[in-house]
Amino acid sequence: MPNQNLFTALRAAFPADLDAVAVETDGGLAYSWRDLDRATAMVANLLQSLDIPRAADGVPPRVAVQVEKSVEAMVLYLATLRAGFVFLPLNTAYQSAEIEYFIGNAAPAVVVCSGQNFNWVSKIAFKAGTRHVFTLDDDRGGSLLERAAHCSDQQVPAERGADDLAAILYTSGTTGRSKGAMLSHGNLLSNAAMLKDYWGWQPGDVLIHALPIFHVHGLFVAIHGALLNGSRMLWHGRFDPKKVIADLPRATVFMGVPTLYVRMLAEPALTREQAASMRLFISGSAPLLIETFNDWQARTGHTILERYGMSETIMLTSNPYRADPRHGNQSERRGGTVGFPLPGVSLRVRGESGVDMPVGEIGDIQVKGPNVFAGYWQMPEKTAEEFTDDGFFRTGDVGRQDERGYVTIVGRSKDLIISGGYNVYPAEIEGYLNELPGVAESALVGVPHPDFGEVGVAVVIARPGASLDPERLIADLKAKLANFKIPKRCFIAAELPRNTMGKVQKNLLRERYKGLFQPA
Sites of contact with ligand MLC (CB under 6 A)? 211-212, 215-218, 238-239, 257, 259, 284-285, 309-310, 419-422, 452, 455, 483-484
Nearer to ligand MLC, 257 or 357 (CB): 257
> Which of 81, 91, 80 minimizes the C-alpha distance to 114?
91
Out of 84, 180, 186, 309, name the contact with ligand AMP by CB under 6 A. 309
What's the gap between Cα 449 and its chain centre?
Answer: 20
Which amino acid is present at 194? Answer: M
- Binding range to ligand AMP, per CB under 6 A, among 227-235, 307-315, 458-466, 482-490: 307-315
The H or E element that residue 449 is part of is: strand 439-449
Site string for ligand AMP, 457-496 (x = CB under 6 A): ----------------------------------------
> Which of 300, 299, 309 minimizes the C-alpha distance to 222?
309
Nearer to ligand AMP, 209 or 414 (CB): 414
- Our finding on whether 306 is near ligand AMP (CB under 6 A) is yes
What is the smallest separation between the CB atom of 373 and ligand AMP, expressed in angstroms?
11
Nearer to ligand MLC, 134 or 452 (CB): 452
What is the smallest separation between the CB atom of 446 and ligand AMP, expressed in angstroms?
12
DSSP annotation of 280: E
DSSP annotation of 494: S
> Which of 449, 385, 386, 401 minimizes the C-alpha distance to 422?
449
- Our finding on whether 334 is near ligand AMP (CB under 6 A) is no
- Between CA 9 and CA 113 the distance in angstroms is 28
Out of 409, 458, 481, 490, name the contact with ligand AMP by CB under 6 A. 409
Q: Give which of ligand AMP, ligand MLC, none residue 218 binds (C-beta under 5 to 8 Å, depending on kind).
A: ligand MLC
Backbone angles phi, psi at 261, to 5 degrees: -70, -40
- Our finding on whether 24 is near ligand AMP (CB under 6 A) is no
Could you please report the per-residue DSSP string of 126-186?
HHTT--EEEE--TTS-SHHHHHHTTS-S--PPPP--TTSEEEEEEE--SSSS-EEEEEEHH
- Between CA 233 and CA 219 the distance in angstroms is 13
- Binding range to ligand AMP, per CB under 6 A, among 17-25, 352-360, 390-398, 475-483: 390-398
Nearer to ligand AMP, 34 or 394 (CB): 394
Residues in 99-138 at the binding interface with ligand AMP, rule: CB under 6 A: none
- Between CA 380 and CA 365 the distance in angstroms is 22
- Between CA 494 and CA 464 the distance in angstroms is 10
- Our finding on whether 314 is near ligand AMP (CB under 6 A) is no
Nearer to ligand MLC, 127 or 238 (CB): 238
What residues line the site for ligand AMP (CB under 6 A)?
171, 215-216, 284-287, 306, 308-311, 338, 395-397, 409, 412, 418, 423
